[in-house]
Amino acid sequence: MTDRDYMERAIALARKGLGRTNPNPLVGAVIVKDGRIIGEGWHDHCGGLHAERSAIASLTESAEGSTLYVTLEPCCHWGRTPPCTDAILEQKIGRVVIGSRDPNPKVSGKGAALLRSAGVQVEEDFLREECDSLNPVFFHYITTQTPYVIMKYAMTADGKIATRTGASKWITGEAARQKVQELRRICPGIMAGIGTVLADDPLLTVREENARSPVRIICDSRLRIPPDCRICRTAEQYPTILACAAGAEKDDPAMARRRQQLERRSLRILETPARDGHIDLNALMRLLGAEGIDAILLEGGGTLNESALRSGIVQELQVFVAPKIFGGNGKSPVEGEGVALPSEALGLELRGISNIGGDLLLRYQIRSRSAGKEALCSQES
């Protein structure tokens, strides 16, 4: 077994915490002595032991002089749990091989430096790319305090998200829809626009029993949501936030009454700074980030998708493409004015392609947020 094998094992262990560690990162750790793994662990849930301490807890022999492989720089601060660097020194571990750097300002470089100054041999950036790919959400959230937003939509091979009559059930097959359920399970928030609620009356929950459903966030600037829709009827069971435009009541006196009615249904109203009656999505992301929501699955229709891209809140796209054609003038995943020239397009970087039961899943990262903003803004001014 090589250093690479041990770090790959640590990466595999880290994944076991998927969906439970938010807003903390996924981290795995392996302790090796005389060519044998003598301890391993991972960060299982927020508030639980960090990976290093979990690996140490599994030891059945002394770790003196051993090597610790850990996918993220060990912390040196008191958070919900004590510093991992203390535990590493107590165990007299001789060498620490680190994958990712921890961008948390409380740690960033200080964890590795502390170990080094105590005489531990430290190697950094080992399989860094692979380790970094475990934590796009954590890296974004810890540095911006706003959620990592994944825009998800399903379209036909001719780019439609509904038929000419507005019907959209179903575009993709069962396996792809199951994949969306998985995404909902690992994102603490799910967001849609009022247009989608009025058109489809969705539930936006995880169907599986006992699974945690994400907080539902509906962008509904004037609180037009019907109190008898499925989201309102299930708001006691599944936490739901309605983001409305601050000040909208001035032009719509009946809004106060609708608000009271919705609050009685256990929906939480979040007044969000607005411009021209539209919710400021960047402000909404700051409010949601402050509540500890580190990732949002955006299942918007074309209008919300366009605003989200234009305001620069989206980090990743997951696009399902079904092998079928609707034709006609069915809706597109991104509406709005659009750009005038191909050269003004919002650029994406392809990160992955998979075949899910005959549907394609394309994963993209936004190439550059500022470039995207300019591109989609050019029609606005």
Active site residues: 52
CB burial of residue 328 (10 Å; 0-12, 13-18, 19+): exposed
Q: Which of 7, 8, 9, 24 binds ligand AOF (CB under 6 A)?
A: 24
Partner interacting with residue 24 (select from Zn ion, ligand AOF, none; CB below 5-8 Å by kind)? ligand AOF
Nearest distance from C-beta of residue 39 to ligand AOF, angstroms: 14
Residue 84 contacts Zn ion per CB under 5 A: yes
Binding string to ligand AOF for residues 114 to 153, with x set by CB under 6 A, is what? ----------------------------x-----------
CB closer to Zn ion, 42 vs 238: 42
Asked whether 70 and 28 are in contact (CB, 8 A), the reply is yes
**Binding ligand AOF by CB under 6 A: which of 40, 102, 306, 316?**
102
Bridge partners, residue 333, by sequence: none
Judged by CB under 6 A, the stretch of 49-57, 189-197, 308-316, 348-356 that binds ligand AOF is 49-57
Closest approach, Cβ 10 to ligand AOF, in A, equals 11
Residue 59 or 362: the one with the smaller Cβ distance to ligand AOF is 59
Name the one range near ligand AOF by CB under 6 A: 101-109, 168-176, 300-308, 317-325: 101-109
Identify whether the C-beta of residue 264 lies closer than 8 Å to the C-beta of residue 242.
no
Residue number with CB closer to Zn ion (134 or 296): 134
Whole-Å CA distances, 32 to 11, 80, 164, 300: 15, 27, 61, 47
Q: What is the DSSP pairing of strand 240-245 with strand 215-219?
A: parallel
Is cis: bond before 23, omega within 30 of 0?
yes
Q: How many residues bind Zn ion (CB under 5 A)?
A: 3
User: Should residue 331 be labelled a site residue for ligand AOF when binding is judged by CB under 6 A?
Assistant: no
User: Is residue 43 a contact residue for ligand AOF (CB under 6 A)?
Assistant: yes
- Residue 79's binding partner, choosing from ligand AOF, Zn ion, none, with beta-carbon cut-off 5 to 8 A by kind? ligand AOF
Q: Residue 207: phi, psi to the nearest 5? A: -70, -35
Distance CA 139, CA 132 (A): 8
Q: Which stretch binds ligand AOF (CB under 6 A): 24-32, 212-220, 349-357, 364-372?
A: 24-32
46-75 residues in contact with Zn ion (CB under 5 A) are 50, 75
The H-assigned helical ranges of the chain are 3-14, 51-57, 84-90, 110-117, 128-132, 136-144, 174-186, 194-200, 230-233, 255-264, 281-290, 302-311, 369-377
Angle at CA 131, nearest 5°, toward 298 and 11? 100
Q: Which of 19, 79, 94, 159 binds ligand AOF (CB under 6 A)?
A: 79
- For residues 114 and 309, which CB has a smaller minimum distance to Zn ion in the complex? 114
Interface with ligand AOF (CB under 6 A), residue from 31, 51, 180, 288: 51
Q: Where are the beta strands (DSSP E) in the chain?
A: 28-33, 36-42, 67-72, 95-100, 121-123, 148-156, 189-193, 215-219, 240-245, 268-272, 274-275, 278-279, 295-298, 316-322, 348-356, 359-366
Please choose, from the candidates 60, 142, 40, 57, the residue with its C-alpha nearest in 3D space to the C-alpha of residue 101.
142
Note the residues at the interface with Zn ion (CB under 5 A): 50, 75, 84
Note the residues at the interface with ligand AOF (CB under 6 A): 24-25, 27, 43, 50-52, 72, 74-75, 79-81, 84, 102, 104, 107, 142
